[in-house]
A and B are shown apart, each in its own frame.
Chain A
Amino acid sequence: MTILIYDGSFEGLFTAIYECYINKIPFYKIVPKNKIQQNFFEEYKFIETDLIKAEKLQKKIISNISQKALHKIYYVFISEIDNKEELICSFLKLGFEFKKETHQYLSNKIVLTVNRISQKVLKEKHLLLGLIRFRELKNNIFYAPIEPKYNILILLTPHFVKRMPLQNWIIHDTKRKIAAIYNQKGLLLIELDTAISTFSDQEEKFQSLWKEYFENIKIEDRVKPKLQKQHMPLRYWKYLIEKSL
């Protein structure tokens, strides 16, 4: 069996799927290049990422299935689960068969898994829109480190571009070592290794004001740490101001 290798990007995966699709061959096994496990008996073929082919597939998904389906596929991709390629391929196969009705097959195992994963990704995105904490740096940049479970950095940016158009800001995924940088004109995605910690002079003042506020609005007789953690899981506390690990 031939195994297709792609560069690990979303467009790369789409190029690989497009190749299978256009050549009318059943979907191959597709793996990202950093996950190749050399096997003597298998044949490997490296697929060069081709933006045009990737876009063609995107358009095909939108017209044949739906925009929603494309979004869900993207959410599965950034969930970084094992075998995401396989799940996406099976979902597409189903999608091209059932067309616009695909999303009605709620109890189909593949649709179910895709829905469940997209929901988890979207839930984390929504949660982080609230839990991100910016810190003011010396040079008037607002900096927010995050460590999301899923690779949702890009999903977060449109919200803050709209909300803080006149502020320079950086959102830094310290786990994946990537950062989104916004300079009031445009957005840039870069690799960024180490977290920044040179804060402005007034930063500490507002941090302690926030902490005091947080402390003083709790209702002592009704403290429910378990409920609090249900809403705001511990893994997000590392970069909160009002809580720490």
Chain B
Amino acid sequence: MDLIEKLKILGGAAKFDVSCSSSGSMRENKRMGIGNTSVSGICHSWTDDGRCISLLKVLLTNFCIYDCAYCANRISNDIPRAIFTPDELTELTINFYKRNYIEGLFLSSAIIKNPDYTMELMLKTVKKLRNEHKFNGYIHLKIIPGTDLKLIKEAGFYADRVSVNIELPNNESLKKLAPQKKKEDIIQPMSYIQSKINETKKIKKVKIYKPQPIFAPAGQSTQIIIGATPDNDLNILTLSQNLYKKFHLKRVYYSAYIPINKHPILPNTAPPLLREHRLYQADWLLRLYGFNSEELLNSENPNLDLDLDPKSAWALKNLHLFPIEINTADYEMLIRIPGIGINSAKKIIIARKIGYLTFDDLKSFGVVLKRAKYFITCQGKYYGISSFYPDTIKKFLISETLKQKYRDGQLSFFEINDLSGITGEL
């Protein structure tokens, strides 16, 4: 099989892996080599479905001994199979990199023979890149569940980021859908990776003359499939929160389930992409905005509102905290205002040192007030609507998003008309 055929199969087989980040690492070029990494990450292109392409994302092979119900590469599927040799993969990576197509390599794999054998083949490729080609670009290595810790240790010293996929949000689903994967095989490497990251970080802090290698400088991440099991958003977000707190994961990626295989216990329809989007929004609130999953959801409301972004939904449930005075609120509170992000909050803090800010000041330096206006005052003045009730504000917030969709051409005029009765504004 020629290289182009292999690339088609093994590139296509990796396309559902959602992680694409190339950020967080500061690997330098040691002058005699090729490449370095960029802390902020760089996108090199965007696919026709609008996702960023940063790394050459491929499987080493799609030959698999496992039979996971949700997976396209499972052994019982009749599909074309291929395997890269380490030389082919390094040739592709180096030549794509030299032409500035990519930031580096994202290498995952199906399981050929056994986990250790697969991981060894992956490591062979990565070592070739780092040692023979002096490649200092970004490498993301997927850890195969059930791999010996010795191999994981090696992987961490060669890669910038490593990830073990959780795949399913609880042990029960894992038993049903991926019977050959065990929960321990996923959790154990995660905690091992976390301990290694901590260990080498500590060394880094002490002043030493010879720089020591850092284990997975860009940290670890994971991926959860959404909608293949009946788990609710509260289960999923609580799991993510624990992963962030316990294992200090850099990111948890959510992937809306795509029905590829027919299976009696799998749903036949994909969950709405909107749910995936809402989970990502909630995830940002957990990681960067100081929220807890219990604040966003509880056992009575275990799923995110599809009509509203999670921050707006939270604000409406906690309307007694609002409206917030822009000129005096502290940073932690500013970022809890719907529609105000980290950048806007920082700008507000800088600009109000000069003097009291007005509504127009906020507008002038680019704070988006479409949603925020219902939740703030500027010098005591409120610019929202006359009735300060959750239901009324909710209607207005929803009508704003509908107007946006209409402008973006995602909604026809008739749909808008139908909704005018509810919102009373259009």
Interface residues of chain A, those whose CB is within 8 Å of chain B, are: 101, 103-107, 112, 115, 126, 129-136, 142, 144, 159, 162-167, 202, 206, 208-210, 212-214, 216-219, 222-228, 230-232, 240-243
Contacts and interface: CB of A to CB of B under 8 A. Distances in A.
Nearest to B365: A106
Contact of A231 (B7, B43, B273): B43
Nearest to A129: B42
Contacts of B32: 166
A217 to B, nearest CB: 4
Given A104-B353, A227-B50, A213 B36 contact: no
A3 B103 CA distance: 49
Contacts of B101: 133, 210, 241
Contacts of B11: 212-213, 216-217
A228 B48 contact: yes
A165 B98 CA distance: 11
Contacts of A214: 45, 47, 53
Contacts of A208: 4
Nearest to A166: B34
25 contacts: A101-B354, A106-B361, A106-B365, A129-B42, A130-B100, A132-B100, A134-B98, A134-B99, A142-B98, A159-B38, A164-B34, A206-B95, A212-B11, A213-B11, A216-B8, A216-B11, A218-B15, A219-B47, A222-B49, A222-B273, A226-B408, A227-B50, A228-B46, A228-B49, A242-B45
The size class of the interface chain B forms with chain A is 35 or more
Interface in B336-356: 347, 350-351, 353-354
Contact of B45 (A135, A219, A224, A232): A232
B112 interface: no
A133 B48 contact: no
B99 A133 contact: yes
Contact of B44 (A131, A135, A159, A162): A131
Contacts of A165: 29, 31
B46 A232 contact: yes
B142 interface: no
Contact of A107 (B33, B44, B46, B361): B361
Contact of B99 (A126, A135, A217, A232): A135
Contacts of A130: 42-45, 54, 100, 103
B92 interface: yes
B30 to A, nearest CB: 10
Nearest to A217: B15
Given A106-B365, A134-B99, A218-B15, 10 more contacts: A103-B350, A106-B347, A130-B44, A159-B38, A162-B29, A166-B34, A210-B96, A217-B14, A228-B46, A228-B50
